[in-house]
Amino acid sequence: MGQKVTKAVFPVAGMGTRFLPATKSIPKEILTLVDRPLIQYAIDEARAAGITEFIFVTSRGKGALEDYFDHAPELESSLQKSGKSELLSIVKNTNMESGAIAYIRQHKALGLGHAVWCARRLIGDEPFAVILPDDVITGDVPCLKQMVDAYEETGGCMVSAMEVSRDKTSAYGILGVREESGPMFSVSEMVEKPAPGEAPSNMAVIGRYILTPQVLSNLDEMKKGAGGEIQLTDAIATEIREGRDVYGYQFSGQRFDCGSKAGYLQATVAFGLAREELRDEFAAYLDQISAAKKAAE
């Protein structure tokens, strides 16, 4: 049986170069889908899964990200005086209570594994989740909640997974599938960004993890992997080689890669259409564009 997971690490130290010049002055995690920043979707998912301690691995220039979770007394007072109770409720929901959130600096961009390792003293000797805010996942049940529920029965390590086309395997960590049981399967190997012909399957790791403290010990060795970075995938693969349980969980929902411009735009359309107050006007506009394109052809 898995121990209860109450801590989550959010690696947010990246510079967001794919979104320059916007990210010259604001963290990419503050970029919005409709009216909520990417990081809010990640926080909401973590809360729904029972996470109570939030650990952010940051870097220089992330002050706006830290400020976002602070109370804003002047704004809240103004909304209250104006009778804008619905907006006030939305703003208050972004506040994080004192002690619930911590920030750790990653001084050098040495990879995802290194970013997670930076949080080791705050994690201690208990299982923890890792959430990559670039991966925005929608579903009736939030992705991490699906994983936490399954983890209570399994323990070990667990990574979220989805099928990708064979020609895309070099962009992901890829899993070898040993034994399937519903959405969950036992993992026989993990390979970071393999060439299509060398991939053990087309089952890719997506940015949600539940990990044991042993993974942090594996990261102590600071071995560099694909791209010359310290890869989290390699530290989890060590668990497999040493005979400990690692599971993949094929989540129910849709994933948007908001670390890419195309994925971010797709998410913007999907989230815009999902909002009742925007749907009709936005859908009509998209239909108009589509009709104009067909006419031009």
pLDDT of 64: 80
The listed range with the strongest mean pLDDT (57-61, 116-120, 166-170) is: 116-120
Cα of 211 vs its chain's centroid, Å: 14
Domains of the chain: 7-259 (3.90.550.10), 260-297 (no CATH)
CB of 249 within 8 A of CB of 255?
Answer: no
Averaged confidence pLDDT in the chain: 87
CB of 168 within 8 A of CB of 199?
Answer: no
% of the chain residues with pLDDT over 70: 96
In this model, does residue 32 exceed pLDDT 70? yes
For tokens 């290194």, the residue is 114
Distance (Å, rounded) from C-alpha 51 to C-alpha 225?
A: 30
pLDDT of 287: 92
Residue range 3-18: mean pLDDT, rounded: 88
How confident is residue 2, by pLDDT bands cut at 50, 70 and 90?
low
In this model, does residue 102 exceed pLDDT 80? yes
Helix or strand or coil: residue 297?
coil
pLDDT of 274: 92
In this model, does residue 56 exceed pLDDT 80? yes
Helix or strand or coil: residue 259?
coil
How confident is residue 82, by pLDDT bands cut at 50, 70 and 90?
confident
- Which residues does 134 contact at the CB level (< 8 Å), separation at least 6? 28, 38, 207, 257, 258, 259
Torsion of CA 274, 283, 285, 261, to 10 degrees: 40
For tokens 């594996």, the residue is 218
pLDDT of 267: 95
Residue range 19-41: mean pLDDT, rounded: 89
Distance (Å, rounded) from C-alpha 80 to C-alpha 87?
A: 9
Residue range 175-198: mean pLDDT, rounded: 84
